[in-house]
Amino acid sequence: MARLAKVLAGDWNTVEIVQHGQPVAEGAGRRGTTQVRLTGGGTALVSEGHSVGTVGGDLRWFITIWWDSNAKTYRFLTCFKTSADAGCELRGTAHWEGETFVNDYEEVIDGKRTRIQDLWTDITPNSHKLTEAHDTGNGVMKPYVVSRSTRQ
């Protein structure tokens, strides 16, 4: 948890640059803020944020990540609220692949189970990129949503 908190804890400005697999025009993607804190005596990382844009609309979220020592993996609880929907779910298991933090999960999209990954990359002390990538078939992952975060 300490490694995860070191790179993600803090207050961030966010901007989405790709939505639904398509680049978003400068200034049209969601922009917002995220606050990430280590809680529970270091047992969980909690992220709460809000963003809004002409493309993608209003989005609020609450995410909790914790280390499951029995399974030797990170677990995720995600809660999202848009103008059309709201809900929470356990969503995937995560691990480090070198300097990339990867959360793997599946969702039913258009009636078909789709493999999805959240990838935290380009991690520096003051920025990181979060990509939601979807399996387009044969294990080829395509960026579906891409956000850049910079430290406030």
Mean of pLDDT values over 133-151: 93
Report residue 66's pLDDT band, with 50, 70 and 90 as the boundaries.
very high
The rounded percent of the chain whose pLDDT value lies above 70 is 100
* Number of domains comprising the chain: 1
Could you give the CA distance from residue 63 to residue 73 in angstroms, rounded to a whole number?
16
Report residue 125's pLDDT band, with 50, 70 and 90 as the boundaries.
very high
Report residue 54's pLDDT band, with 50, 70 and 90 as the boundaries.
confident
What pLDDT, on the 0 to 100 scale, is given for residue 32? 97
Q: CATH no. for residue 34?
A: 2.40.128.20
> What's the predicted TM-score (pTM) here?
0.93
Range of the structural domain that residue 29 is part of: 2-151
- pLDDT per residue as tens digits for the range 12-32: 999 999 988 888 888 888 999
What pLDDT, on the 0 to 100 scale, is given for residue 20? 86
- Kindly report the three-state secondary structure assignment for every residue of 41-99: CCCEEEEEEEEEECCCEEEEEEEEEEEECCCCEEEEEEEEEECCCEEEEEEEEEEEECC
Report residue 150's pLDDT band, with 50, 70 and 90 as the boundaries.
very high
